[in-house]
Structure 1
Amino acid sequence: MTKEAENISRIRDILFGNNLTEFEKRLEKSDQVSRDSLSSLEMQVSRQLAEMRLLMEENKQLQQTIVQKEKETLTNSISRLKEEINLLDQRLNQTLISFEESLRETRQWMSEKSESLHQEQLTLLNEYKKHVTDSFGVIQSSKVDRSSLAVLFSEIAMQLAGKKEDN
């Protein structure tokens, strides 16, 4: 301290006494405690902010990782579903082709069977026609006309009448 500062300090002691000096010391001590507390608080807040920033960065990275994994999972699921849809589409096309082929074969078989049955029916009909025609011809040729039949019956009647008389 300089001489002048000492003189001022003595004058103050004389005027105000030891109380002022003690009050100044307390005030300085209180200021120092406040500065120390404030400095400690600033360090604590800075540390907590740094921890929060670090935690936020970790959360951000974790979220990005989760989002990336979900994106990959969705992409894989979409790819797998597309493959399954393509396989189902191929199976459906194969089934349709097989069904159309089976339907075509069935139509052809039914057409051939229908034609075969038609031919059989025509053959049977022709056979029946021929049989009826032949039977009609036989009946026509073996048919006796009325006058011949009348003569035949007359002869039978006479023979019967003659036999009756003989008895």
Structure 2
Amino acid sequence: MSYRPHNLAVQMDDYEGEEFMSHKPPTDAPADNKPEKPRVVSVAPARDNPLNQDKDKLNRFSQINTGVLDKKLRVAETSLQKQEEMGNNFAEGLGASIGNVDKIRDILFGGQMRDYDKRFKRLEDRVSQDNMNFREEIFQRLKVLEERMDSEIDSLIEKTKLERQERQAALADLERELKALKNELNNRITQFDEQISRDIKNLRQQTLSKFQETALQIRQQNDSLTGLLNQEVSQLHDEKVNRSDLATFFHEMAVRMTKTYEEPSEIE
């Protein structure tokens, strides 16, 4: 049905073109529109005058051309009127055919299309509802995850803060302990230095006192030995002892002097 108007239009155009090119009047044209044959009035010119013959030919040619032009104009007007009428009829037929096609389509596929529309509507509603449910579920999950992450982050922040405070307290305790150990070590070193100084001073004093005592004892022993020697010498002068007694005397004196010099060295 969709190709018939097009074919009709093509046939109409072909028909009008042939009619216009053949210069034939349409068969269904009214009788009063038929062109009349031009009436040619011929005048017999003199055969011996060529100028008159040329004028006669020119008049006949002009009369024939005028009739042909009138005929062509009338045919063109008739074809335009037919074309306009056929165009109106074609538009009316096309509108009616379109309406009929819609009615036929509604009769054949109306129920099925309405069923498809209902199914598509239900499917669209279901997809929309599923989409809304999915979005709501995702939103709730993201909200729960966000809250959990916030709580975890807060707990980590608190734990980090507590660990930092504990480290700071431990560092402060360590610094105090190190400072106390340093002070104690300094005090012990100072006490040890003082004690060593006192011990060295006491040792020096004791050594000096012992040296003085030893020197005094040596001086006293020397004095006693000198006195004893002088006494013995005087006795020798007085008694004139023999050589053996003198040797014994000098031997005893040497032994005594040796013992006297050994005692101070042992004390030192």
Is residue 2:200 matched to residue 1:102? no
Sequence identity (%): 18
Q: Which residue of 2 aligns with 1:114?
A: 207
Aligned equivalents of 2:214, 2:241: Cα separation in 1? 41
The C-alpha deviation readout for 1:117-149, integer Å capped at 9, x for no partner, is 101110111122112211210121011489x66
Counterpart residue type for residue 96 of structure 1: I
**Change beyond 3 A, Cα 1:16–1:25:** same
Q: Which residue of 2 aligns with 1:155?
A: none
Counterpart residue type for residue 39 of structure 1: M
How many residue pairs align between the two structures? Answer: 141
For residue 89 of structure 1, report the CA deviation from its aligned partner.
1.3
Q: Which residue of 2 aligns with 1:42?
A: 135
Aligned equivalents of 2:120, 2:231: Cα separation in 1? 158
Structure 1 segments unaligned to the other structure (5+ residues): 1-8, 151-167
**Change beyond 3 A, Cα 1:107–1:24:** same
Aligned equivalents of 1:46, 1:123: Cα separation in 2? 112
Stretch of structure 1 that moved more, 35-44 or 88-97: 88-97
For residue 87 of structure 1, report the CA deviation from its aligned partner.
1.1
Structure 2 segments unaligned to the other structure (5+ residues): 1-101, 243-268
Q: Which residue of 2 aligns with 1:138?
A: 231
Aligned equivalents of 1:39, 1:92: Cα separation in 2? 77
The C-alpha deviation readout for 1:98-118, integer Å capped at 9, x for no partner, is 111111110111011100110
- 5 Å-filtered alignment, 1:5-154, equals 13-144=106-237
For residue 59 of structure 1, report the CA deviation from its aligned partner.
1.1
**Change beyond 3 A, Cα 1:131–1:11:** farther
- Taking structure 1 as the reference length, what is the TM-score of the superposition? 0.76
For residue 70 of structure 1, report the CA deviation from its aligned partner.
0.7
The C-alpha deviation readout for 1:142-165, integer Å capped at 9, x for no partner, is 11489x669xxxxxxxxxxxxxxx
**Change beyond 3 A, Cα 1:98–1:149:** closer
**Change beyond 3 A, Cα 1:139–1:10:** farther
For residue 52 of structure 1, report the CA deviation from its aligned partner.
1.1
Counterpart residue type for residue 165 of structure 2: E
**Change beyond 3 A, Cα 1:11–1:103:** farther
Higher RCO (Cα < 8 Å, 6 or more apart): 2
**Change beyond 3 A, Cα 1:53–1:12:** farther
The runs of 4+ residues in structure 1 deviating greater than 3 Å are 9-13
Aligned equivalents of 1:101, 1:70: Cα separation in 2? 46
Aligned equivalents of 2:151, 2:216: Cα separation in 1? 95
Aligned equivalents of 1:149, 1:126: Cα separation in 2? 29
Counterpart residue type for residue 169 of structure 2: N
For residue 17 of structure 1, report the CA deviation from its aligned partner.
4.0
SS in 2 for 1:143: helix
- Taking structure 2 as the reference length, what is the TM-score of the superposition? 0.49
**Change beyond 3 A, Cα 1:36–1:113:** same
